[in-house]
Amino acid sequence: MSREASSGAEADEAARGEHEAARASWGYPAFARDFPRHAELDALVAAFTRGDYRTVRERAPKLATAPDEPEAVRRAAAVLRARIDPDPTARVFFALTAALLVFLTAWWITHDGKHRESAPEPPRKIEYVK
């Protein structure tokens, strides 16, 4: 066996070990338990479990569009990539919150905010008692 083949086998074994360690951890995603076993997909799930979302963001779309991969693997990669995107509902609520903040700030400024220039108050009379 050549040195390159043995290093490839060692890398596959390391990836399997990393996947099994991630699967045994408490942070393993429940939605990924039914994913098919595939070396690249297992590495992506392990990265997701570790919180390495950059790796998932970069490699999952490539796996999801690879024509030589099984359909189940491509679907799983697409699901994994979709799980790191912000929830669309959260985006809507963030936009509504920002709009409410702008509206309330404008309301405060125009109605009861900074006091407008007005005539200065006359000086107080001071009484001297002898």
Is residue 117 a part of any domain in this protein?
no
The two structure tokens encoding residue 109: 């400024």
Is residue 73 a part of any domain in this protein?
yes
Is residue 102 a part of any domain in this protein?
no
Per residue in 35-53, pLDDT (tens digit) is 888 889 888 988 898 889 9
Is residue 57 a part of any domain in this protein?
yes
Is residue 37 a part of any domain in this protein?
yes
Owning domain of residue 60: 3-82
| Spatial contact of 16 and 41, defined as CB atoms under 8 Å apart | no
The total number of structural domains that make up the chain: 1
Taking CB atoms within 8 Å and a gap of at least 24, the contacts of 52-59 are 53/84, 56/80, 56/81, 56/84, 57/81, 57/84
Is residue 104 a part of any domain in this protein?
no
Per-10-residue mean pLDDT for the chain, 130 residues long? 52 63 74 87 89 92 91 92 91 97 92 67 85
Q: Write down the pTM of the prediction.
A: 0.59
